[in-house]
Amino acid sequence: MQGTIDQNSLYNLFEKSPLPMWVFDTQTLFFLEVNLAAELKYGYSKQEFLKLKITDIRPSEDVAVVNNIVKENIKSGKYYNNFFRHVKKNGEMIFVEIESNLIDFNGIRARLVLAQDITSRITAEQQLALSEQRFKALVQEGSDLIAIVDFELNYKYVSPTSLRVLGIESNAFIGQSALSFIHPDDVKQVVKDAEKLKTNYQVQFSPFRFKNINEEWRWIETRATNLSEDSSILGIVCNSRDITERVEQEKQIFESVERYKIVARATRDVIWDYNLKTKKISWNLGISGVLKYKASGLLTDASWWENNIHPEDRPRVVGKIGSYIEQGIEFWKDEYRFLCGDGIYRHIMDRGYIGFDSNQNPYRMIGAMQDITESKKQMSAIKEQNNRLKEIAWLQSHAVRAPLTKIMALADLLQYNCIDEHSKELIEYLSQSSVELDQVITSITNKTDKTSGENKN
């Protein structure tokens, strides 16, 4: 729409309008007239405005767009309406809605512009869009399953994550009871937890099993918030997540601990667990049964164990462990004397497994100590007895061999000088008997030496 305005009309239009208004030259883009509202909004005086172009109140990146719009509007000559960014004198950026018409201003082809500040509206819309993006990220694309149910636990809303978590489309839940998806053994506890929402704002449900698309039971952890008074919700918001892997891991750990406890009770050995990082050792009850220390001290420092090793054995035992760790050897075994709680040193057979991480750094040793004191005593007694038997056998063999040698020598002498055939036959028989007796003594001596050697080994 094109027309002509006079000074009085311009005054009424500009000076009395609560909204910023101006007139600009469509050829040069210079301001030709501005009203008081424009001066107040943008911070420029009228004299300053008249030295500026309309592009001077725009961000630099918007200037090219503005120039093209003005050229198009000159050709069309139509009413124009759009949203723009403007920059005030103090540098503050505002969003404005522009309405303009082509006019004749004292013979100059110009446009009359009305600008309305819509910054607060745009900011609110941006915040809303950001909020919606966050909602989408948290609810639709997050790892948690979000649902809204009523007090009877019927679904009113389910987030799209149900497809990823359970394999079920979200709309398949609407109107259904949550209890129909929960394991029958868990329903009673779920209902009991849900009752608390009538008096509590938020309730943490006990983990329960939930059926997925494949009829498999998945463990679910849920926190419910009562927002039934919130007009935008009108229900109970449930944040749920699949904790099946965690539950299975906890179950395996529990079973492993139970097995350890059973083994620890069943064995007579002292089972120990040495944390190489904290230098702490945990013990089973064998610390009291075998080592004679109070069962209350099931956790000790590594130094306690080292200090109770016999001083003569300590450097060898500790040094061997250090050597194995340095070389990356997993299995360690040693024998040493250990000072027990009753003040007696007992002989210990100790075996351990050294755990290394992926970087070959040692972090743990697990092993068992066995009291071999009685075995040591028995072996010592056997060796002592063998030594006595050997000594007796040696004395007996040598005591017999001396006169036997004399008999053998006399038999040879008599046999050589004997003329009587009958006597000669008797002497030969005596000589053969002496040789047989000598072989028996030699056999006894050899067997005694062999047995002694095996016991040493």
Say whether both 36 and 86 belong to one domain: yes
Domain closes at, from 185, 215, 248? 248
Say whether both 85 and 164 belong to one domain: no
- The answer as to whether 314 is a domain residue is yes
Domain closes at, from 83, 117, 151? 117
Where helices occur in 44-109 by DSSP H, the ranges are 46-49, 63-76
Say whether both 318 and 405 belong to one domain: no
What is the SS3 string spanning 364-417? EEEEEEEECHHHHHHHHHHHHHHHHHHHHHHHHHHHHHHHHHHHHHHHHHHHHH
The pLDDT of residue 435? 72
* pLDDT, one tens digit for every residue, the chain (457 residues): 445 555 666 567 667 889 999 999 999 999 999 999 999 999 999 999 999 999 999 999 999 999 999 988 888 888 899 999 999 999 999 999 999 999 888 899 999 999 999 999 888 888 877 766 666 655 566 668 888 999 999 999 888 888 888 999 989 999 999 999 999 999 999 999 999 998 999 999 999 999 999 999 999 999 999 998 888 788 999 989 899 888 888 888 676 666 666 665 555 678 888 999 999 998 887 788 888 888 666 888 999 999 999 999 999 999 999 999 999 999 999 999 999 989 999 999 999 999 998 888 999 998 889 888 888 887 777 677 666 666 666 655 555 556 666 666 666 666 666 656 656 666 676 667 667 766 776 776 666 666 555 555 5
* DSSP state at residue 299: E
- The answer as to whether 218 is a domain residue is yes
Say whether both 141 and 242 belong to one domain: yes
The pLDDT of residue 15? 79
Say whether both 88 and 181 belong to one domain: no
- The answer as to whether 186 is a domain residue is yes
Boundaries of domain holding 90: 7-117
Say whether both 367 and 386 belong to one domain: no
The pLDDT of residue 12? 72
The pLDDT of residue 104? 86
- The answer as to whether 237 is a domain residue is yes
Say whether both 27 and 113 belong to one domain: yes
Say whether both 302 and 347 belong to one domain: yes
The pLDDT of residue 145? 87
Give the containing element (helix H, strand E) for 430. helix 421-456
Say whether both 359 and 288 belong to one domain: yes
- The answer as to whether 262 is a domain residue is no
Say whether both 146 and 94 belong to one domain: no
Q: What is the CATH number of the domain that holds 430?
A: 1.20.58
Say whether both 295 and 197 belong to one domain: no
The pLDDT of residue 1? 42
Domain closes at, from 351, 371, 391? 371
Neighbours of 70 (CB within 10 A): 19
Q: What is the CATH number of the domain that holds 81?
A: 3.30.450.20
Q: What angle do CA 21, 24, 29 make, to 5 degrees?
A: 135
- Count of the separate structural domains present in the chain: 4
- The answer as to whether 177 is a domain residue is yes
- The answer as to whether 93 is a domain residue is yes
Return mean pLDDT, the chain.
83
